[in-house]
Amino acid sequence: MARPAARQSAAGLGLARALPCGYLRLMTGRALDQSSPRKWVALWLFSVAGLVALMVVVGGLTRLTDSGLSITSWKPIHGALPPLSLAEWEDEFEAYRQIPEYQKINKGMSLEEFKTIFWWEWGHRNLGRLIGLAYALPLLVFWWRGQIASAWWPWLLGLLFLGGLQGFVGWWMVASGLTERTDVSQYRLVTHLTLALVIFCGLLWMAYRVLGFEAAQSMRALAQRNWVFGFLALVFVQIMLGGLVAGTDAGMTYNTWPLMDGKVIPDGLWAQAPWWLNPFENITQIQFNHRLGGYAVAIAAVLLWWRIRKARDQRASRLADIMLATVGAQVLIGIATLIAVMPVWLAAMHQFGAVLVLAATVTLAAALAPVHSTQKPIS
């Protein structure tokens, strides 16, 4: 009879094997070859992508709880440790008291209230450190074991570089709110968010490349690949518009739908001078643009779904169904978030919905744009 520890170990190994297979069966209907070392590389990439998705949500919650400026210094290594004594907490709180956010918005905040926002930002930064380790250490192991094909290295090293760059961009964003502003620059916030999602998409794309996705069976389906990439670009534009909404708190106004202030086209769209700043700094224009972007994504999703369904490729059609469902859910959550005046839990769901839309779209793109060079076996 098997010992309990052995049974638990076997169960854990079975779960580790089931995760990538379950994901692939859901998204593509294709099982993962259990005998191939590719499965471990793919599982690693899918796992890191999951951590990045979590990072995006935690980052959104950090923004929604106004916690992002609570740590006023950047200590990539030493900063992993939180304050361990009352004196250290007082030092952190005193540093926060010196910035405009405290002096103009949170003056009189207690130490316990400060700890609440501190833990959000500390958790966000440490999740970033965890992602860095979760990516870099297995990469070294796979390299040492000879399980990294030469064709993969440019992608994997590029993602490593982008991950390091993201740490600098995060501090660059925070630094914008420490001297004169009471919040971070919306431009830098959009840069930070967009780079995180580029990394997320890159991880998924690389995971599919490692698995060596086969081409769709229908040439008519393959012909839609450029349309899928165009749709993916449109989704990214919409996410950037959403980042501007978050960065300027534009979602706290005009909380009706489908009209804004009782009008289809609200007054004051171009009220700011110079005119070209309106799409980036005028909250009326920012929210209006995000609404238009949502309509554009919804219409484009339906048209893309219809084109792929017409191609009569079973796998591509299934992926198009998933893509359309995620877009539909995201639109409904976005409307609910606006009408409810941005409750934290709904706004976090809306941000996670953007990640799901990207995941579904990247999966569809990967199925229609196979990379044949990855079919070479690895030992």
pLDDT band at 324 (very low <50, low <70, confident <90, very high): very high
For residue 375, pLDDT beyond 70: no
Residue with tokens 């799901």: 356
For residue 23, pLDDT beyond 70: no
pLDDT at 19: 47
pLDDT at 24: 52
Contact 359, 343 (CB under 8 A): no
Per residue in 333-371, pLDDT tens? 999 999 999 999 999 999 999 999 999 999 999 888 755
pLDDT band at 57 (very low <50, low <70, confident <90, very high): very high
Residue with tokens 């965890």: 130
246: amino acid identity, one letter = A
For residue 173, pLDDT beyond 60: yes
pLDDT at 13: 39
Task: Round to whole Å and give the CA distance between 319 and 29.
Answer: 10
Per residue in 116-164, pLDDT tens? 999 999 999 999 999 999 999 999 999 998 888 888 999 999 999 999 9
Contact 353, 335 (CB under 8 A): no
Q: Residue 108 corresponds to which tokens in the numbers above?
A: 């009189």
Instruction: DSSP letter for 321, please.
Output: H
DSSP letter for each residue of 255-319:
--SS-BTTBSS-TTTT-SSSGGGHHHH-HHHHHHHHHHHHHHHHHHHHHHHHHHHHTT-HHHHHH
**Of 4-18, 271-285, 337-351, minimum mean pLDDT range:** 4-18
For residue 226, pLDDT beyond 70: yes
pLDDT at 214: 63
User: What average pLDDT does this structure show over 193-199?
Assistant: 97
Higher pLDDT, 356 or 11: 356
Residue with tokens 């744009």: 369
For residue 51, pLDDT beyond 90: yes
pLDDT at 94: 96
Q: How far is CA 354 from CA 22, 203, 235, 324, in A?
A: 22, 16, 8, 13
Per residue in 229-240, pLDDT tens? 999 999 999 999
Task: Round to whole Å and give the CA distance between 101 and 72.
Answer: 11
Long-range pairs, 220-226, Cβ under 8 A, ≥24: 220/310, 220/311, 220/312, 220/313, 221/308, 221/311, 221/312, 221/313, 221/316, 221/368, 222/368, 223/311, 224/304, 224/307, 224/308, 224/311, 224/316, 224/368, 225/365, 225/368, 225/369
Domain definitions of the chain by residue range: 34-211, 214-379
Over the chain, what is the mean pLDDT? 87
User: What average pLDDT does this structure show over 256-282?
Assistant: 93
Task: Round to whole Å and give the CA distance between 143 and 152.
Answer: 11
pLDDT at 357: 98
Query: Would you say how long the chain is, in residues?
Result: 379
4-19 burial, b if ≥16 CB within 10 A, otherwise e? eeeeeeeeeeeeeeee
Among 366, 379, 287, 375, residue whose Cα is nearest residue 334: 287
